[in-house]
Amino acid sequence: MQVTILGAGNMARGIATRLLVGNHQVHILDRDAGQSAILVDELRSASEGRVSAGTIGDPLLGSVVVLAVPYVATLGLVKQYGDQLNGLTVIDVTNPIKSSYDGLLTPADSSAAEEIAKAADPGARIVKAFNTTFAGTLLTGQVAGMPLDVFLAGDDAEAKATVASLVESGGMRPIDAGPLSRARFLEAAAFLHISAQFTLGTGFASALKIVC
């Protein structure tokens, strides 16, 4: 599968690594063409040429787009791409946390994913995923010898199945958390997980996982 990642930061690196493990093609776009080129150079040794770089604004390649930029940048980004997102699976990995770390930027009756869905082309198929996984853990796809759980929320069953397939191919376990409105709880859980890093001293190397 061909996937375009918008952003070239740590989450882009982690998700791209898992996608390449799954033998997918990855196209990385960033506002700074130099940053996307640097990340592609880092990934290329393990990618067998299946990764390429460009600038945000370039055409989207493939049927899946990953929003790996800060939440505050996502609304403008989906508006910029407009109807190019029609029919595409759009993965929102963001957490709308205030810079003061004392709450979320989104209203209590909404989520980053839902706000993105409102701003995006009506034909865009938004799926919340990867927001509960830390970037560093995605490099190996596991914590404490156990595969990462990746929680998915979305209203389009086919789009969620596509994302679940990508997750599985990267050696992780997808868990369907329900409709897109459940992104509110996933973002709240991620906020709690992030906050716990400062008290537990786990250095963003922990994971949220269902064990039974």
pLDDT digits (tens, 9 = 90+) for 38-71: 999 999 987 777 999 999 999 999 999 999 999 9
> Could you tell me the two tokens for 14?
């982690």
> Could you tell me the two tokens for 205?
């190397």
For the cut 90, the answer to whether the pLDDT of residue 169 exceeds it is: yes
pLDDT digits (tens, 9 = 90+) for 111-125: 999 999 999 999 999
Nearest Cα residue to 27 out of 14, 12, 42: 12
Q: Which domains does the chain have, with CATH numbers?
A: 2-200 (3.40.50.720)
- Report how far residue 95's alpha carbon sits from residue 183's, in angstroms, rounded to the nearest whole number: 10
- Report how far residue 142's alpha carbon sits from residue 207's, in angstroms, rounded to the nearest whole number: 8
pLDDT digits (tens, 9 = 90+) for 19-33: 999 999 999 999 999
- Report how far residue 141's alpha carbon sits from residue 128's, in angstroms, rounded to the nearest whole number: 18
